[in-house]
């Protein structure tokens, strides 16, 4: 077979020849040829080609061998490789054929310039065949009498040439036709072979560059047989429930080959095969009884065979056949346990007795019924009760006590050994210790430390904790010598199981020890929902509920609270999983916070919803801290004020409730010009037995100026008097002379006596009564004050001064207020009180207000006052008086002089000419 | 075995006689399927029992010296045992496939007394070489006869696949046995030439006669092979 390249080269060669003929026009036609013609060369070998020119061309075209040019494809071969043998023959030599390509052409320069092709050859490169290696053969039995043999080998390297492989074989005296592979080069099948004759097998590889044979292989084909597996396998139950008999047919004659066998079997549904010991089936046979099987169990069998001496190959496993062993009586009693109702009464209890159906290898047949025997241990005389049930549980209501429960399983063959469970009144014996769990291989392992006492067996009880369903108890028994087991149930991942281990003793039960476990944990399915319980200025108390067991998916190891302000960084706080409340502190007041919470299991955490809250502007007690002190201060002030009032009661009283002398009781009523001025001083107490007057207003009316005081001028005065007398009816009649004379206070005649008692001293004023008093004919009289206030020295002086200077008697009348007996400088109080009066006497006391304005310009009372100031003041007063002010209240303020320097009293006098001059 | 063709001999038809009948064994290189030794095939050209001298060795040394190993003796025993084990079945199947009257008149029709069969006069006490030579003569005859029978059955019962397979296998086994015996005779006893006799060819006989001849040969074969197995056992058993 030619390779593709060879065909291409050959086609190109023909094309060149044709072209050569056409182009040359016969000039160089058949002028030469190349020797060898289309060689097949081994890669890497050397090669020499000859171009032989025809003699005819020498004469015709003057073409000689020295003009020959060798070319590979279009590439000129270097002249160093040329060799001119004679004038008609030129050779070219290639030391390594790897540089060769096809076509190799012989060309000539006609006329020294025009290159003409003389001849061309194709060159095929390749490798000689390698010796086939690793020859191996196997005889496959395909039918009872047909044994084809297949041999395989390694053909070796790629040879780039068409290489033929043949499988050769022969007997000592006979050769057989070669086996020629089809479509492959590494295997061949001989349709039939003969056993018990040594066969020599070898592989021959051949191509254009040579032949190679593998090492011969000599064997008897019987030694390399892979027989057909036994067939028609049948399984029959034996007499014994643990035996099954297998029968089969061998498909190879024992005369040809004696066989040995392998038998494997498994319980149906299981995957692991068991094997019959090979030595039991090492001899030719067509049947075998498999022993040691489980009663009433379905088994699957399969068999294979090979040459008895082990030379050759095992057959494939036969088709599988099943068989069922016969029944036997149950090998053990069913595992038994109980659930006692939690609501056990002192007298009786409800016992749910339950047992597990026996495994098939224990039941050894179909369990027809269970026989339950209940025997009270405490009462030896009471007979035992028997129940035959078809289910695996029995509920009994029993009197309180210790019971022995026995369960026996029955099948068609017989009864099982009894299973006994002791139900004591109470589980008082030692429990297991150090109960622990471990997920392992997709199952949940429970381990414990055994108590010191001998334990008959353990009962492991477990249930799935869920909010959506009750805890349905499952259980299993374990022998007393183990301290750990896998839970034999459908244990689901991410579910919480409550596992309890009870040790059962020969005569009692131990109390159960419980542990919670997960087969596999996951992140919680949701996070806790956090909310605030209390929000303060810098702290917030957060509360949350534990996740439900269905939401946990694992053990909650911790919580993490994340909180942040709107534009702040998130802060995380880890909280113990047992907590349901946490106080965030160091918060900023009046700030919106977003808080969320994550619950973590071992597998990770999940966040709950965000919750926002705003801290308060003021902290707890801050308002109280402000308000309470203010209130306290206020109360203190009030208290101090009250105390002050009490302490200064007389003073206040003097100002607020001045004792206005009752004119009716005034001595002036008895006084007449003829009465000496100092008359009745001694009768003061008689007149005012309960006290003196607090203040005295003095009205100085100049007799000479009487006319100047027209009625209009006196009208305000009259109005004042009138108003008081009419509106209150208790006016003293002195004409509002007192700055503290509130109308009501001043008319408290009824309290006169009391008031006078509280007055430590009184000053007797002389009052000018213009109108008639109490139906008296209004005459201009002087009423002398009966004040007991001693006259001051200055007064004496004033008096003297007044007496010494008539000009001083020219003084305008005015009110002079003395706000205290010894507070000559505290005129401000008087002034303020005067202000309080003002609303009542608004219309009447215009001049008084003017005095207030003038006040600052008034000079302090003193010696100077007695000179110019008084005159100026008086002139002012008079000037004002002409404008309608008949009564003046002059306030003295801002006296820079000390008290000692101040005159101690004022001179109260009447300056009217011809009037009475008080003492 | 499919329904057998009617025995033409019974119907009295003429059996063609062609002294140059070669059948499929004309090629000197015997087909592995036939398993007949080429030299014997040539002898089958004769219509009568012929005798010949088989040249076991054509050149210096034993043929296939590398293949004449120590296990050849055991292989020979196993081959004889195999033939003995399968001979009766082969004969029964042959009878079955030939139909009546061979099935019912076996003793009468298949009496081997009427056909040539090489003498096998050796016993357990015979010399091993003598036994080997006798065995060679026997299986040389059987190989040729089985070849003829197979050829006849391929014509008479071409659909009797199992019979044909058994005939082929038996023929091949005898051929292998001859190969082993050649090896043993040459290597162990330096016997390079043995005189052999071949049976009468069925060529040209009627179908009935062919069947009958085959039946007679096979019946004799069953008897002789059992004897050979018994004799050969102590001689070829492993030491």
DSSP for A4-48 reads HHHHHHHHHHHHHHHHHHHHHTTSSTT-EEEESSS-EEETT--EE
* Residue of chain A nearest B85, judged by CA positions: A255
Do the Cβ atoms of A172 and B67 come within 8 Å?
Answer: yes
* Residue of chain B nearest A176, judged by CA positions: B32
Do the Cβ atoms of A177 and B29 come within 8 Å?
Answer: yes
Q: What is the pLDDT of residue A45?
A: 85
Q: What is the pLDDT of residue A245?
A: 93
Question: Shortest Cα distance from A130 to chain B (angstroms)?
Answer: 24
Percent of chain A with pLDDT over 90: 32
DSSP for A528-596, written as a single string: --EEEEEE-SS-EEEEEPPPPHHHHSS---EEEEEEEESSSPPEEEEEETT-SEEEE-SPPTT-EEEEE
The mean pLDDT value for A18-33 works out to: 53
Q: What is the pLDDT of residue A345?
A: 67
SS3 letters across B159-212: CCHHHHHHHHHHHHHHHHHHHHHHHHHHHHHCCCEEEEEECCCCCCCCHHHHHH
- Mean residue pLDDT of chain A comes to 74
Do the Cβ atoms of B82 and A218 come within 8 Å?
Answer: no
* Between A304 and A671, the higher pLDDT residue: A304
Mean pLDDT by 10 residues, chain B (239 residues): 44 28 30 48 45 58 75 88 90 88 82 80 81 89 90 89 90 90 86 82 84 88 88 66
Secondary structure element (H or E) that encloses residue A847, with its range: helix A846-854
Within 8 A of A174 by CB-CB distance, chain B residues are 30, 175, 179
B227 within 8 A of B110, measured Cβ to Cβ: no
Joined tokens for residue A682: 């001694």
Least confidently predicted of A148-157, A177-186, B59-68: B59-68
Joined tokens for residue A173: 């005296």
Name the 3-class secondary structure at A104: strand
* Interface A-B: count of C-beta contacts within 8 A: 88
- Predicted confidence (pLDDT) at residue A332 exceeds the cutoff of 80: yes
B37, B57, B82: best to mutate for the A interface, most A CBs within 10 A: B82
- Predicted confidence (pLDDT) at residue A642 exceeds the cutoff of 50: yes
The position carrying tokens 């095929």 is A124
Do the Cβ atoms of A173 and B63 come within 8 Å?
Answer: yes
Q: Is A309 at the interface with chain B, CB within 8 A?
A: no
Q: What is the pLDDT of residue A600?
A: 93
Winning range, highest mean pLDDT, from A147-151, A172-176, A382-386 = A147-151
Among A176, A220, A222, the residue with its CB nearest the CB of B32 is A176
Do the Cβ atoms of A172 and B75 come within 8 Å?
Answer: no
Joined tokens for residue A224: 């390399």
Nearest residue to A855 via CA among A903, A804, A817, A813? A817
- Predicted confidence (pLDDT) at residue A307 exceeds the cutoff of 60: yes
Do the Cβ atoms of A145 and B169 come within 8 Å?
Answer: yes
Do the Cβ atoms of A218 and B69 come within 8 Å?
Answer: yes
Do the Cβ atoms of A174 and B179 come within 8 Å?
Answer: yes
As a whole number of angstroms, the distance between CA B234 and CA A231 comes to 35
- Predicted confidence (pLDDT) at residue A895 exceeds the cutoff of 60: no
A283 within 8 A of A259, measured Cβ to Cβ: no
* CA A67 remoteness from chain centre: 97
Q: Is A175 at the interface with chain B, CB within 8 A?
A: yes
Joined tokens for residue A408: 């026996």
B223 within 8 A of B81, measured Cβ to Cβ: no
B118 within 8 A of B110, measured Cβ to Cβ: no
* CA A384 remoteness from chain centre: 61
Least confidently predicted of A370-379, A421-430, A677-686: A677-686
Question: Shortest Cα distance from A315 to chain B (angstroms)?
Answer: 21
* Between A696 and A135, the higher pLDDT residue: A135
Q: Is A438 at the interface with chain B, CB within 8 A?
A: no
- Chain B residues with CB under 8 Å of a chain A CB are 29-30, 32-33, 35, 56, 62-69, 71-72, 75-76, 78-79, 81-82, 84-86, 165-166, 169, 172-173, 175-176, 179-180, 182-183
The mean pLDDT value for A119-134 works out to: 88
Among B56, B75, B85, the residue with its CB nearest the CB of A197 is B75
The position carrying tokens 């050979």 is B228
- Predicted confidence (pLDDT) at residue A750 exceeds the cutoff of 60: no
Within 8 A of A255 by CB-CB distance, chain B residues are 78, 81-82, 84-86
Within 8 A of B90 by CB-CB distance, chain A residues are none
Q: What is the pLDDT of residue A322?
A: 93
Q: What is the pLDDT of residue B51?
A: 59
Question: Shortest Cα distance from A256 to chain B (angstroms)?
Answer: 6
The position carrying tokens 């296990």 is B71
Within 8 A of A216 by CB-CB distance, chain B residues are 66
The predicted-structure confidence for A271-295, as pLDDT tens digits, reads as follows: 999 999 999 999 999 999 999 998 9
The mean pLDDT value for A821-849 works out to: 38
Do the Cβ atoms of A173 and B179 come within 8 Å?
Answer: yes
Q: What is the pLDDT of residue A796?
A: 41
Q: Tell me the C-alpha to C-alpha distance, in Å, between residue A109 and each of A27, A71, A121, A308, A741.
A: 12, 13, 19, 81, 163
As a whole number of angstroms, the distance between CA B147 and CA B39 comes to 12
Q: State chain B's maximal CA–CA distance in angstroms.
A: 56
Q: State chain A's maximal CA–CA distance in angstroms.
A: 207
As a whole number of angstroms, the distance between CA B167 and CA B156 comes to 14
Contacts of A568 (CB under 8 A, 6+ apart): none
Band of the pLDDT at A225, cuts 50, 70, 90?
Answer: very high
Q: Is A566 at the interface with chain B, CB within 8 A?
A: no
- Name the β-bridge partners of A208: none
Task: Tell me how many degrees the CA angle B72-B77-B82 measures, rounded to the nearest 5.
Answer: 120
Percent of chain A with pLDDT over 70: 67
A189, A198, A250: best to mutate for the B interface, most B CBs within 10 A: A198
ipTM passes above 0.85 = no
How many Cβ atoms from other residues are within 10 Å of residue B66's Cβ?
11
* Between A910 and A517, the higher pLDDT residue: A517
As a whole number of angstroms, the distance between CA A44 and CA A55 comes to 35
Question: Shortest Cα distance from A281 to chain B (angstroms)?
Answer: 23
The dihedral built from the CA positions of residue B67, B73, B75 and B76, taken in this order, carries a sign that is positive
As a whole number of angstroms, the distance between CA A9 and CA A125 comes to 12
As a whole number of angstroms, the distance between CA A180 and CA A186 comes to 10
* CA A215 remoteness from chain centre: 77
Within 8 A of B79 by CB-CB distance, chain A residues are 195-197
Least confidently predicted of A7-11, A707-711, A836-840, B85-89: A836-840
Within 8 A of B63 by CB-CB distance, chain A residues are 172-173
Do the Cβ atoms of A197 and B180 come within 8 Å?
Answer: yes
- Name the β-bridge partners of A200: A170, A218
Q: What is the pTM of this model?
A: 0.56
Among A171, A198, A256, the residue with its CB nearest the CB of B69 is A198
- Predicted confidence (pLDDT) at residue A744 exceeds the cutoff of 60: no
B28, B32, B187: best to mutate for the A interface, most A CBs within 10 A: B32
Band of the pLDDT at A673, cuts 50, 70, 90?
Answer: low
Q: What is the pLDDT of residue B15?
A: 26
* Between B238 and A505, the higher pLDDT residue: A505
Within 8 A of B225 by CB-CB distance, chain A residues are none
Among B64, B166, B173, the residue with its CB nearest the CB of A173 is B64
Q: What is the pLDDT of residue B111?
A: 83
- Predicted confidence (pLDDT) at residue A619 exceeds the cutoff of 60: yes
Do the Cβ atoms of A255 and B81 come within 8 Å?
Answer: yes
Do the Cβ atoms of B64 and A200 come within 8 Å?
Answer: yes
Q: Is A255 at the interface with chain B, CB within 8 A?
A: yes
Name the 3-class secondary structure at A498: strand
* Residue of chain A nearest B79, judged by CA positions: A196
Q: Tell me the C-alpha to C-alpha distance, in Å, between residue A578 and each of A525, A606, B91.
A: 19, 17, 96
Q: What is the pLDDT of residue A794?
A: 42
Query: What are the backbone angles phi and psi of residue A247, rounded to the nearest 5°?
Result: -135, 150
How many Cβ atoms from other residues are within 10 Å of residue A611's Cβ?
17
As a whole number of angstroms, the distance between CA B93 and CA B164 comes to 10
The predicted-structure confidence for A550-588, as pLDDT tens digits, reads as follows: 999 999 999 999 999 988 888 999 999 999 999 998 888
A10 within 8 A of A122, measured Cβ to Cβ: yes
- Predicted confidence (pLDDT) at residue A205 exceeds the cutoff of 70: yes
Q: Is A311 at the interface with chain B, CB within 8 A?
A: no
Q: What is the pLDDT of residue A821?
A: 39
Task: Tell me how many degrees the CA angle A174-A180-A183 measures, rounded to the nearest 5.
Answer: 165
Q: What is the pLDDT of residue A497?
A: 93
SS3 letters across A159-218: CCCCCEEEEEEECCCCECCCECCCCCCCEEEECCCCCCCCEEEEEEEEECCEEEECCCEE
- Predicted confidence (pLDDT) at residue A671 exceeds the cutoff of 90: no
Among B56, B84, B179, the residue with its CB nearest the CB of A197 is B179
Within 8 A of B143 by CB-CB distance, chain A residues are none
Among B71, B86, B180, the residue with its CB nearest the CB of A255 is B86
């Amino acid at each position: 077979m030619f390779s593709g390249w060879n065909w291409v080269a050959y086609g190109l060669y023909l094309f060149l020849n044709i072209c050569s003929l056409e182009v040359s026009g016969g000039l160089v036609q058949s002028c030469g040829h190349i020797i060898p013609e289309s060689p097949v060369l081994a890669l890497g070998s050397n090669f020499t080609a000859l171009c032989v020119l025809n003699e005819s061309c020498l004469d015709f075209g003057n073409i000689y061998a020295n003009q020959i040019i060798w070319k590979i494809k279009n590439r000129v071969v270097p002249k160093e490789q040329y060799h001119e043998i004679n004038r008609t023959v030129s050779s070219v030599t290639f030391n390594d054929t790897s540089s060769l390509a096809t076509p190799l052409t012989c060309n000539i320069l006609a006329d020294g310039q025009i290159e003409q092709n003389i001849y061309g050859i194709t060159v095929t490169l390749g490798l000689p065949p390698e010796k086939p290696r690793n020859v191996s053969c196997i005889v496959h039995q395909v039918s009872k009498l047909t044994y084809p043999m297949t041999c395989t080998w390694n053909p070796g390297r790629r040879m780039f040439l068409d290489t033929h492989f043949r499988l050769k074989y022969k007997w000592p005296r006979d050769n057989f036709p070669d086996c020629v592979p089809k479509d492959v080069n590494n295997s061949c099948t001989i349709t039939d072979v003969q056993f018990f004759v040594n066969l020599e097998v070898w592989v021959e590889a051949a191509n254009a560059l040579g032949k190679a044979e593998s090492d011969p292989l000599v064997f008897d084909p019987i030694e390399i047989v892979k027989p057909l597996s036994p067939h028609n396998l049948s399984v029959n139950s034996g007499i014994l429930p643990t035996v099954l008999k297998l029968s089969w047919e061998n498909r190879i004659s024992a005369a040809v080959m004696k066989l040995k066998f392998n038998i494997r079997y498994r319980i149906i549904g299981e995957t692991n095969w068991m094997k019959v010991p090979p030595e039991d089936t090492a001899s030719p046979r067509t049947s075998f009884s498999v022993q040691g099987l489980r009663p009433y169990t379905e088994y699957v069998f399969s068999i294979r065979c090979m040459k008895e001496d082990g030379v050759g190959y095992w057959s494939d496993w036969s088709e599988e056949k099943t068989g069922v062993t016969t029944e036997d009586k149950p090998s053990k009693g069913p595992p038994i346990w109980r659930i006692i109702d939690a609501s056990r009464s002192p007298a009786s209890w409800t016992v749910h007795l339950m047992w597990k159906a026996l495994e098939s290898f224990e039941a050894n047949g179909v369990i027809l019924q269970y026989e339950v025997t209940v025997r009270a241990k405490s009462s030896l005389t009471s007979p035992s009760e028997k129940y035959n049930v078809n289910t695996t549980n029995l509920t009994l209501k029993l009197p309180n006590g210790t019971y022995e429960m026995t369960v026996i399983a029955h099948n068609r063959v017989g009864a099982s050994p009894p299973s006994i469970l002791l139900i004591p009144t109470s589980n008082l014996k030692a429990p297991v210790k150090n109960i622990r769990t471990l997920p392992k291989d997709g199952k949940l392992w429970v381990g414990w430390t055994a108590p010191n006492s001998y334990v008959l067996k353990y009962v492991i009880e477990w249930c799935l904790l869920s909010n959506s369903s009750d805890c349905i108890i499952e259980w299993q028994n374990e022998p007393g010598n183990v301290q750990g087991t896998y839970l034999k149930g459908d244990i689901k991942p991410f579910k919480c199981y409550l596992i309890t281990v009870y040790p059962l003793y020969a005569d009692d039960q131990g109390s159960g020890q419980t542990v919670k476990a997960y087969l596999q944990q996951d992140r919680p399915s949701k996070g806790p929902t956090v909310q605030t319980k209390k929000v303060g200025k810098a702290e917030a108390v957060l509360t949350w509920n534990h996740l439900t067991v269905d939401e946990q998916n694992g053990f909650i190891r911790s919580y993490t609270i994340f909180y942040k302000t709107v534009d702040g960084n998130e802060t995380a706080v880890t909280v113990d999983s047992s907590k349901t409340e946490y106080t965030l502190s160091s918060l900023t007041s009046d700030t919106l916070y977003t808080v969320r919470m994550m619950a973590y299991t071992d597998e990770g955490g999940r966040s709950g919803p965000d919750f926002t809250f705003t801290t308060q502007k003021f902290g707890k007690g801050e308002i109280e801290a402000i308000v309470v002190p203010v209130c306290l201060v206020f109360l203190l002030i009030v208290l101090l004020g009250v105390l002050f009032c009490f302490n200064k009661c007389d003073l206040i009283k003097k100002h607020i409730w001045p004792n206005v002398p009752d004119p009716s009781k005034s001595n002036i009523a008895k006084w007449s010009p003829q009465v000496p001025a100092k008359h009745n001083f001694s009768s003061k107490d008689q007149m005012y037995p309960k006290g003196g007057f607090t203040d005295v207003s003095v009205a100085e009316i100049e007799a000479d100026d009487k006319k100047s005081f027209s009625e209009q001028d006196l009208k305000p005065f009259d109005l004042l008097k009138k108003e008081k007398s009419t509106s209150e009816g208790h006016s003293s009649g002195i004409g509002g002379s007192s700055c503290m004379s509130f109308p009501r206070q001043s008319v408290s005649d009824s309290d006169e006596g009391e008031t006078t008692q509280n007055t430590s001293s009184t000053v007797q004023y002389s009052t000018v009564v213009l109108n008639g008093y109490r139906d008296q004919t209004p005459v201009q009289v002087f009423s002398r004050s009966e004040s007991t206030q001693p006259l001051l020295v200055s007064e004496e002086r004033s008096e003297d001064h007044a007496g010494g200077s008539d000009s001083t008697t020219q003084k305008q009348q005015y009110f002079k207020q003395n706000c205290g007996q010894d507070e000559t400088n505290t005129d401000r109080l008087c002034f303020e009180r005067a202000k309080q009066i003002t609303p009542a006497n608004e219309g009447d006391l215009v001049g008084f207000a003017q005095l207030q304005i003038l006040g600052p310009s008034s000079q302090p009372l003193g010696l100077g006052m007695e000179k110019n100031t008084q005159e100026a003041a008086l002139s002012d007063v008079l000037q004002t008086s002409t404008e309608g002010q008949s009564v003046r209240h002059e306030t003295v303020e801002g006296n820079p002089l000390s008290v000692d320097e101040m005159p101690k009293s004022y001179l109260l006098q009447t300056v009217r000419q011809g009037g009475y001059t008080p003492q | 075995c499919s329904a057998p063709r009617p025995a033409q001999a019974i119907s009295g038809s003429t059996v063609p006689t062609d002294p140059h009948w070669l059948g499929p064994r004309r090629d000197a290189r015997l087909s592995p399927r036939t398993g007949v030794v080429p030299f014997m095939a040539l002898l089958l050209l004769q219509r009568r029992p012929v005798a010949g001298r088989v040249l076991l060795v054509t050149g210096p040394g034993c043929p296939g010296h590398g293949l004449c190993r120590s296990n050849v003796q055991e292989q020979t025993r196993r081959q004889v045992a195999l033939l003995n084990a399968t001979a009766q079945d082969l004969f029964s199947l042959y009878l079955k496939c030939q139909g009546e009257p061979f099935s019912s008149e076996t003793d009468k029709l298949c009496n081997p007394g009427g056909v040539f069969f090489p003498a096998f006069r050796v016993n357990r006490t015979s010399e091993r070489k003598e036994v080997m030579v006798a065995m060679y003569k026997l299986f040389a005859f059987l190989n040729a006869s089985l070849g003829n029978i197979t050829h006849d059955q391929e014509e008479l019962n071409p659909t009797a696949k199992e019979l044909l397979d058994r005939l082929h296998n038996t023929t091949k086994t005898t051929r292998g046995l001859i190969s082993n015996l050649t090896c043993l005779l040459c290597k162990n006893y330096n016997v390079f030439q043995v005189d052999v006799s071949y049976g009468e060819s069925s060529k040209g006989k009627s179908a009935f006669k062919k069947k009958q001849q085959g039946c007679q040969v096979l019946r004799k074969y069953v008897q002789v092979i059992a004897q050979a197995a018994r004799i050969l056992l102590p001689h070829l058993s492993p030491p």
